[in-house]
Structure 1
């Protein structure tokens, strides 16, 4: 025998559109088996009135249409059978038909509304990604371009590109792999220079505390411009915007400049004072040199994926100094002090 309470609960779930597919099947199976039941019929009509006020959500529309079509077919068969024996006409047919028509109309209304919403232009939203010390992040853009963001850097970009160009804003250092699109130039904006490409890979270093901005091209062609001039760069060419506001170009193997993106270091006769800036960002430490003379020692180093202590050990042997690590504080000192 059917449990009345459970059937009522199913109607309540149907009313609030939180019924599962399995529960909806159970409910309509009961309707089909015993359409003449007064209590069940009353619940059905009650739900129909509520359904008119609160239509089903869009996820349930296909299921509603399928189930009510099934009920409608059964009701029509029942009505024809009753009429053939000249009994009182069966009323479930009209109720089920009315509900089905309502659901079909609501479905059409929803589809039209959805199309209108989809035809509305999507708002442009600017996104910002940041890295702290010791962090390197890969950012993917909507056009398929990728940016490898170095430590203590940030990149701002729109959720989609419009207005005839792809523009992003960089602070810090990033390696760019730009998806080719001749119709949409890719522009990297930094405080002092702009870099424009159509499809290429290149590195930009533009930290606020550093006096120079550097663009190094790995593949393709890049245009670098300031307010007064423009340079065209090809692979293994570097543009430097220096402290005297000059934009200069030079030829150089750029592997040492982009080794950071793969977790490595390549320093070729670089002053120790410049090397420690890289180490501080990479390992999230603060490095102090107690002897000013050490800052100008030039060191050559090529390492990848090594711990801070390993890198410092190699540097100390090459530079002839000692070091101490205390938490996030590192002291470089002349030997014997």
Structure 2
């Protein structure tokens, strides 16, 4: 095959558009000396044409890598590293376009011009009970997402703000950008920052709580039926606010910053928290059901720190020593009596 014909075939192969006959030709071609160099040459040409475009997200990169590896395995009796793994991320933006089913950059560019401003995909991440995760956003901000929680965010931020939505709890470490405030939407409450670290709790049917570890945070609430908002508080390190969405009442308090950063590392601190409320946290954290047979002790106010990275039984033993209440574990149910 002539070199230009080979390049066309390589692009079709990566895009997944080869016919059965062309795939057979690719099997032979990839065994030939110089195939590695020609693959790299194709990537270099396409990269130069598109190096100014936005970088691909990790999700798209991982998806493409799996698909390409599968195609290489299916088409080569003895798979060889035709595309260098070292170069893989360098060309991620180019291959993201191919993942979306566009065979050539010319077609993609034409479509982009025809429809005007590009559409930004919305991504979401959900943790079931018993699972936590760390998410790096396109601006390098880091979100530690708690158990039983979810966030929705754009694949990259555009416009004059950086906005995401949260249900559940998360600790945020926001990259500073005075030109683009970072906004977290949680129901009727909006948390706005420029660059800081803070924690939000916003579980359905519960009070929304915002606490600041570093920097300054502005907390607003939407005014029903007006399309406007009003300020609830401006928080500094150690400040916290709780907002009841049912009554519309807000309460201020103080939380040591070390407690917030400790949560990120798995430390669960309870200060003046009722035992029944604390058990709800442990249910989410360990993905278990906890039945409190003695309702009276559920009103006990707890001042305690538990290590959420340790087995549940360790926390239960601490509670047993503190409240004098025994426990029984049956499958994924804990009975406290």
Shared fold (TM-score, shorter chain, > 0.5): yes
Q: Secondary structure at the match of 1:226?
A: strand
Secondary structure at 2:326 match in 1: strand
**Contact 1:150–1:260 at 8 Å: present in 2 too?**
no
> Which residues of 2 match residues 161-240 of structure 1 at below 5 A?
161-210=157-206, 212-228=207-223, 229-230=230-231, 231-240=233-242
Higher-Rg structure is 1
Summarize the Cα distance change of 1:61–1:319 in structure 2 as closer, same or farther, 3 Å threshold.
Answer: closer
Task: Give the gaps of 5 or more residues in structure 1.
Answer: 1-11, 27-55, 63-109
Partners of 1:173 and 1:206 within 8 A in 2: yes
Match of 1:23 in 2: 32
Q: What is the TM-score with the length of structure 1 in the denominator?
A: 0.65
2:296 is paired with a residue of what secondary structure? Answer: helix
RMSD of equivalent CA atoms = 3.2
Alpha-carbon distance, 1:266 to partner: 1.6
Task: Give me the whole-angstrom Cα distance separating, in 2, the residues matched to 1:61 and 1:224.
Answer: 47
Q: Give the drift of 1:180.
A: 0.8
Q: CA deviation at 1:123?
A: 2.5
TM-score for the superposition, normalised by structure 2: 0.65
SS at match of 1:239: strand
Matched, 1:316 2:320: yes
Aligned pairs, how many? 245
* Contact persistence 2:213–2:261 (CA under 8 A): no
- Bigger CA drift: 290-299 or 128-137? 290-299
Q: 1:311: how far off?
A: 0.6
**Higher mean C-alpha deviation, range 124-133 or range 113-122:** 113-122
Report the Cα offset of residue 137 of structure 1.
0.6
Aligned residue in 1 for 2:13: none
- Rounded to whole Å, the distance in 2 between the matches of 1:290 and 1:274 is 15
Q: Does 1:59 align with 2:42?
A: yes
Give, in whole Å, the separation in 1 of the partners of 2:315 and 2:24: 67
Tell me the CA shift for residue 119 of structure 1. Answer: 7.1
Distance 2:292 2:123 in 1: 38
Q: Which residue does 2:62 correspond to in 1? A: none
How far the C-alpha of 1:260 sits from its partner, in A, is 2.8
Bigger drift between 273-282 and 237-246 goes to 237-246
Q: Are 1:139 and 2:132 an aligned pair?
A: no
Which of these residues, 256, 266, 271, is aligned with residue 268 of structure 1? 271
Query: Which residue of structure 1 lines up, in the alignment, with residue 330 of structure 2?
Result: 326
Hey, what does 1:87 align to over in structure 2?
Answer: none
Separation in 2, partners of 1:322, 1:14: 66
Q: For residue 297 of structure 1, report the CA deviation from its aligned partner.
A: 1.4
